[in-house]
Structure 1
């Protein structure tokens, strides 16, 4: 992934640097999630990684911020901040706003029996105990039917803006104009159970639960695609054990039960291969014609 951005330094807010204990530095770029803040963060962290600075142990980009773990015996905090300020100034002065990344197709069985069984067990923790998560999400977003809501969720591409909460879980930001973004609140009280590889939603973010466990996001379906592999049995996941990276572009594709079952069998046999394609995302192009960019995402997947 090779990102570069352009921002007017006079308009960009200064980054806020906060020490977190003796080994971590938290850097906040914006109080709101937007593509500009995301591009700025992923560009800074990518450049920091490329420099391979002694003492930098780990770099964790997030939606509108990032965190760096460092060894204070090898790299003083003041020098780390000075380096990051220098990189930030370089990023803000870039003339091109492009991200060389990949598009990933994620098959989804919406309205599946496993998330349905789970959500019915936890209706007392939900805003609307009388319906399902999909029915609630469709209604509050003004869709006439669940099918219409599923079409909106699967038709648009999504940016992976960060990976975390639990190992391998991607948070995804919808690539549509702000007025068309789906928004659904989290459960009133978190569940104590969520099926593995559930496609969830909270606020303006979609996610995929990499493991079974507690959670508070609305549950829309499941994917047969393994995204976290501590066993090393999935050839599409490298030694990091985690498939997604910040900057990936995701396109959901609805599948039926028979196709889902076939993909699960392929994954269990170590034969699952996600459909991917290289992609160059241009922020200026997206601002001017988001629908055209969304069509191009689908086109490059169809070509592969």
Structure 2
């Protein structure tokens, strides 16, 4: 059972709603349902809603609605959200990943003095602390199950992804001891319980596992599948990683550059209760839908 949300005010214009102190699909569903409820209620004075992994923030105009009034309105929505069916209309998307690629490898080797175990690689470390005998087994576990996009942000278009397996099987890897000053664009990384894809090049502290040839953010909106909206991911997306080699990576980069690449995607209805009854079976069904089975 979910506990009641915790409400705190941020200055005069923000209400922060924390559904849980720890990440879970239940907490994500509640926060997403509440954020959607606030948006659909069209409360007079609300100017922005920002969803996160297990929480969300509401920005409001205190000249239009008083803090105590916005609090009461959102608390009503919490009650309705707790009774809502945990079913989400979303999509499952396939993301190609070149694991153990030369670009993230070169970068991680430049920053070994900031790492917990400088003598190895990020993949070596992640495999070891998650109980895998080798990197290949760890990589298979990483792409073997789908991931939920629970939040998009921090930098433009960056997805935070939560692995859809039992908690004891979830990959967990701490961030670097000190952040790097460089991370290649489109690096597939991991920090804590969250996977991520670096939408742009820049500083970062997540462990680096590979790279995708598929752009997920394009401010110019010239990428063929990002012309309508510059950000690819949205909260609730389900991601299935597909391992590729150097040849397929280069081929996909060429297809992207020439406007011929289109991400594989299928609309799906995700039912949290059915997922919890048989996690592996439900994941196989989702993957089958992605590939038209």
TM-score by length of 2: 0.96
Q: Distance in 2 between matches of 1:290 and 1:14?
A: 26
For residue 162 of structure 1, report the CA deviation from its aligned partner.
0.7
Distance 1:15 1:278, change over 3 A: same
Q: Is contact 2:221–2:229 with CA below 8 Å preserved after alignment?
A: no
Indicate whether 1:139 and 2:128 are aligned.
yes
Alignment of 1:230-245 (within 5 A): 230-237=219-226, 239-245=228-234
Q: Distance in 1 between matches of 2:178 and 2:27?
A: 30
The alignment partner of 1:262 has SS state of: helix
Select which of 76, 86, 111 maps to 2:76.
86
Deviations 1:98-157 (A, max 9, x none): 111100110000001110000000000001111110111111111111111110000100
Structure 2 residue corresponding to 1:256, chosen from 227, 245, 268:
245
Where in structure 2 are the equivalents of 1:56-67 lying within 5 Å? Answer: 56-67=46-57
1:84, CA displacement in angstroms?
A: 1.0
SS of alignment partner, residue 59 of structure 2? strand
- 1:274-295 per-position Cα deviation (integer Å, ceiling 9, x unaligned): 1100111111111110001110
Partner deviation per Cα, 1:252-296 (whole Å, 9 max, x = no partner):
000111111111122223332111001111111111100011101
Aligned-pair CA distance for 1:238: 5.5
Kindly indicate whether residue 180 of structure 2 is the aligned counterpart of residue 180 of structure 1: no
Instruction: Mark the runs of 5 or more structure 2 residues left unpaired by the alignment.
Output: none
**Aligned with residue 27 of structure 1, among 17, 37, 46:** 17
In structure 1, the gaps of 5 or more residues are 1-10
Alignment match of 1:266 (pick from 250, 255, 259): 255
Please tell me whether the aligned partners of residues 188 and 197 of structure 2 are also in contact (alpha carbons under 8 angstroms). Answer: yes
Q: What is the aligned partner in structure 2 of residue 116 from structure 1?
A: 105
Match of 1:44 among 29, 34, 44: 34
Per mean C-alpha deviation after superposition, the further-off stretch among 247-256 and 13-22 is 13-22
Whole-Å separation in 2 of the counterparts to 1:188 and 1:196: 21
Match of 2:8 in 1: 18
- Which residue in 2 is equivalent to 1:72? 62
Task: Give the TM-score normalised by structure 1.
Answer: 0.93
RMSD over aligned Cα, in angstroms?
A: 1.4
1:160-180 per-position Cα deviation (integer Å, ceiling 9, x unaligned): 011111111100000001111
Equivalent-residue separation in structure 2 for 1:272 and 1:244 (angstroms)? 16
Distance in 1 separating the partners of 2:93 and 2:68: 39
| Paired residue secondary structure (2:255) | helix
